[in-house]
Amino acid sequence: MGFPETFKALSDPVRREILVMLKRGKMPAGEIGQHFDMTGATISYHLSQLKKAGLIFETKYKNYVYYEINVSVFEEIMLWFSQFNGGKQDGEKE
């Protein structure tokens, strides 16, 4: 965990797309992989990067591994960004 891994993890378009997919709820690795034209091994690599960054976590059921978004880390990142717009929040008036 820590900002370096987090920002590194977010720098890849495939990983950002995975995060967007997971907004709707938890999903097993195989189903995530079906949305991409890559091998399961590559998807597994991306999932491990997201996990290492604390952006997602996994739970196991039967022979599936489900992945899920870790909301609290997104809150930390938002906080980092807010230093640049004067603490002003989305939708707030000037």
Partner DNA sequence: TTTCTATTTAGAATTTCATCTAAATACATT
Partner DNA sequence: AATGTATTTAGATGAAATTCTAAATAGAAA
- How near is the Cβ of 63 to its own copies at its closest, in Å? 29
Under rule CB under 7 A, residue 23 binds DNA: no
Q: Which residue has the tokens 């890849």?
A: 12
Q: Are 50 and 56 in contact (CB under 8 A)?
A: yes
Q: Which is nearer to its own copies, 61 or 84 (CB)?
A: 84
Q: Which is nearer to its own copies, 63 or 83 (CB)?
A: 83
Q: Which residue has the tokens 């938890």?
A: 26
64 binds, among its own copies, DNA, none (CB under 5 to 8 A by kind): DNA
Please compute, for residue 21, the number of CA atoms within 13 A of its CA located in the half-sphere on the CB side: 21
Cα–Cα distance, 65 to 75 (Å, whole number): 25
Q: Are 33 and 43 in contact (CB under 8 A)?
A: yes
Contacts with DNA, 63-92, as mask; x by CB under 7 A: xxx---------------------------
What the block records as the tokens of 76 is: 């930390």
Collapsed DSSP state (helix, strand, coil) of residue 84: coil
Q: Which is nearer to DNA, 20 or 79 (CB)?
A: 20
Contact residues toward DNA (CB under 7 A) are 8, 11-12, 14, 28-31, 33, 37-49, 58, 60, 62-65
